[in-house]
Amino acid sequence: MHIGDTPENPSSIVRRIQCKDPLIYKIEGCNRASGWRQDNNLIKYFIGMADEGYSISEEKADKILVKWRERWKNPRFDKDML
């Protein structure tokens, strides 16, 4: 998290997705300026190497993304940001 970020208003969100067939994990990040993008360097948030983040629920992340789309309208946002 950056200076001024809070769990209610972060500057970016990282998620780990599990695909079932084949069984793989995908790490993606999203911020106010860009949609979801795969970035395996973000794994540090899931294995304890980064201490500047917070865990939040999927529901809370969805609410944050809705606010981002309302406040920072940007054509690079896609409809799959939920």
Domain count within the chain: 1
User: Residue 21 is part of which domain span?
Assistant: 12-71
Question: What are the mean pLDDT values of the chain's consecutive 10-residue runs (82 residues total)?
Answer: 75 86 87 84 79 81 82 58 48
DSSP SS3 for 53: coil
Task: Say what the pLDDT of residue 73 is.
Answer: 63
Task: Say what the pLDDT of residue 2 is.
Answer: 67
Residue burial 30-43, b: 16+ Cβ < 10 Å; e: rest: bbbeebbeeeeebe
In a domain, 3, yes or no: no
In a domain, 30, yes or no: yes
Task: Say what the pLDDT of residue 48 is.
Answer: 72
Task: Say what the pLDDT of residue 82 is.
Answer: 46
